[in-house]
Each structure stands twice: as structure tokens, then as C-alpha cells.
Structure 1
């Protein structure tokens, strides 16, 4: 546990230093720009690491929930919890996030610390981190596109599409399967199962907001397309009318 604590402190220091570096590099930008760069890097890095740990190095999280932590699992979780502590402190200081996001960060921190202390169940927690962060790069890319003025383009539509599809399929679909495996297995402790339920509930709260966003954007796109087609049709009819006269 002492070694894990040192790894967490090292991870936290690295994320803070990276944020300071981006602030100095992008001094003409707002602080959120630098913070989101850190978030983007963490998202890409942790998806690659947790994906390798959970689905290649093993053990398979759907078949072995509650298994003892491996050294590699512990290192990845320490790296991730250092970031979550940094981002949680940043969000509280700048008051940029609401209760749902702060709850997600709090549950992530508590869940990781718990399995590090128990020295069990890092298998499924790594899988949860993978599912939670796989959509993050698209979310950050969406923000940067909006800031740069390129959000209302085909690229922005593609980013939104993949974000929504990944969230539905991975965080809700695969996440539900993982939760079922967790709850049906006698190995994980009840407190770990309770944490899994809490994380899945938060994912569904996000899902409701995302569904509303997707519906509004789809409706707006359809309305715009319909209006353009109507204008094009009116233009063609008027043109034929003038020609006939």
C-alpha cells in the first residue's frame, strides 16, 4: 500500500507539472484549454493501458471479477487516480462542473483507492476505467473544435456520432454486461459490487443527457435539411414558371 501511495503521489505530480507546462506554452489561452489537453492525454493513454491490461495481459474481467491485483493493474490504477485527483481539485477550484461530473470523479477516486487497499478487484475496475475513458478523447476533441470554430462541420458531426455510439455501446451495453458478471459472481466483496452499481447509475444519468442532446441535434439537422430542400424546390418551381411565361 505504501508503494501504491508513492505511485499515486508521483502520478499526481506528473499531471500537475504537465498542466503547468501547457499553461506556460499556451499563455494566450484560458486555463481550461490546458486542463483539457491534460484530460485528452490522460484519456488516450489510459484507454491504451487499461485496454492492454484488461483484455490482453489479463485476467479477463468478465470471467475473473474479484481476482487479486497484478502489479501492472496496480500501476495503471495509480496513474489514473493521480489524474482524477488533479482534475477533481481543478474542477472544484474553477467551479466548472456540476454535481454529476463531480460524483463521477469522486466515485472513480474512491473505487480505485478501495481496490488498491483491498488488493483485489483491480481487474473489473480497470475495465470500468477503460469504458469510462474510451469516449473521453471524442468529448475533448468536440470542445477543441468548438473553440477553434470548426464544430459545425462534417468533422464535428463525425465526432459527435462516434461519441454517442461509443457511449451507448461501451459504457451502457458492455458496462451492463460487466455489472451483471460482477453481481452474479460470489467472489467480489459487497462494497465493490455496490461501487459498480453506483458507477453504472452515473453512466445512465449521463446517458439521459446525451440522448437529449442527440435528439435535439438530429431534429435541428433534419429541420435544416428540410428547409434547404424546400428552398431548392421553390427555386426550381419559380424558375420553371418564369421560363413558361
Structure 2
């Protein structure tokens, strides 16, 4: 690998740190996590757009060309997001805000990007994994901001949760399984690249199990609230005691 990607990653890391410090200076009344999540939201929106362009327009198609040589645009996108992952991993470790599963996801993402840059190939499928991993990230951040501003238990909060669960299940589990199958059946990628794909997909399933449990608990809570409200809507009170109409 030439010196060029190292310089790009260094510039990317510097840019994300600078952006974070600027937002902290701008939002002095907000917490460090609030400001960091704003950076995460910006990164997610940017990488979704760039990785979608790389995968769907610029090419090559990851489902038919896994293990293909890296393009210049792919290298730039990977370096941009690698700098962010370095920043976010250090931030999460320092402030101890994330559990082991999320830290493992960050470490695997960093190793996968570095591997593609060193090999000079497989950025096609790594970019596709980035797209699938980041497509739900803005919704996750919006959900956190809604909770912080006491707007989570609203129709907007329900909509964000539904879209998050639907996108995660469809893209990261459904489409992710197809991408992993194409990766494993292709003779081109190295065996350790394929093992990395299996590890990332296993992480997605760990997240998925937690998400389904959360969705089930929230659905039960919403149903109970609806049932309680529906059960008392047809009652009037006599001497302080509810009686059905």
C-alpha cells in the first residue's frame, strides 16, 4: 500500500476531530455525547450517499465482482470512513458509552477497511458492507435525540423505530445474507476476507436479536397502553368508582 491512503486517513481523522471540536464549541450547553452523535449522524448520511454512489452507479457491482481491484473512488471513501471509525472508537473507549458488541463492530470495521486498503482489492464488498451498516445509523441517532428531548413516545418515535427495525432486518440481515453468499461462493476473495465477512454478518445477527427483543417489548408496552385506554374509554365514574356505560 502506498503512502497516499495513510495521508487520506490522517486527513480524515483530523477532519472528524475538528468537526467534533467545532460542534462542542458551538453547543457548549450540550453534552459531549450529544455533540458526538451529531458527528455520527453527519458521517452516516455522508457515507450512505457516497457508498451508494460507489456501489450502485460507479461500480463494480459487489454481488458479481467481489474481490475485484480497488478503484480510486473506493479508496477515498474507505479512507474517509476509516478516519471516522478511529475517532469514534477512541471516543467510545474514553467515555465508556458503548458495550463490547459495538466496540467489536468498530474494531472489525477498522480491520476490514485496512485489509482492503493493504490488499488493493475487495473494497467493492467492503464498501457494500459499509452501506448496509450505515443505512440504519441516522435513524438510530434520531431515536437517541428524540429520547433526550422527551419526544420519543410520540408517533414520530414509533415511525423511527419501525423504519429502523424494517431496514435493519431487510438490508443487514436479508441483503447481507445474499452478499455473504456471493462472497463465499466466489473464488476471487482471499479466505481471510471471507472470514471477515462471516464475522461481520455474525455481529449483525447479534444486533438483530437485541433489536427484535426490544421491538417485542415495545410492542407489548404499546398494546397494553392501548388496551388500558380502550378499556377505560367506555366508563363513567359514580362516587369515584368506574362503571361501564
Q: TM-score, normalised by structure 1?
A: 0.96
Question: When the two structures are aligned, how many residues end up with a matched partner?
Answer: 240
How far apart in 1 are the matches of 2:236 and 2:124? 62
Query: In structure 2, what is the Cα distance between the partners aligned to 1:74 and 1:45?
Result: 15
Q: Distance in 1 between matches of 2:43 and 2:75?
A: 16
Unpaired runs of at least 5, structure 2: none
**Is the CA contact (8 Å cut-off) linking 2:12 and 2:80 kept in structure 1?**
yes
**Counterpart Cα distance in 1 of 2:244 and 2:87:** 62
How much has 1:29 moved relative to structure 2? Answer: 0.8
Measure how far apart 1:31 and its partner are. 0.3
Root-mean-square deviation (Å): 1.2
CA offsets 1:158-215 (integer angstroms, 9 cap, x no match): 0011000000000000001000000000000001000000000000000010000000
Write the distance in 2 (CA, Å) between the matches of 1:172 and 1:222.
Answer: 27
Residue 122 of structure 1 corresponds to 123
Q: Distance in 1 between matches of 2:224 and 2:134?
A: 33
When you count helix as a share of all residues, which structure comes out higher? Answer: 1
- Partner SS, residue 62 of structure 1: coil
Match for residue 53 of structure 1? 54
Name the structure 1 match of 2:113.
112
Residue 43 in 1 paired to residue 44 in 2? yes
In structure 2, C-alpha distance between the alignment counterparts of 1:101 and 1:52, rounded to whole Å: 26
1:62 Cα deviation from its structure 2 partner: 0.2
* Misfit runs of 4+, over 6 Å: none
- The CA deviation at 1:239 is 6.7
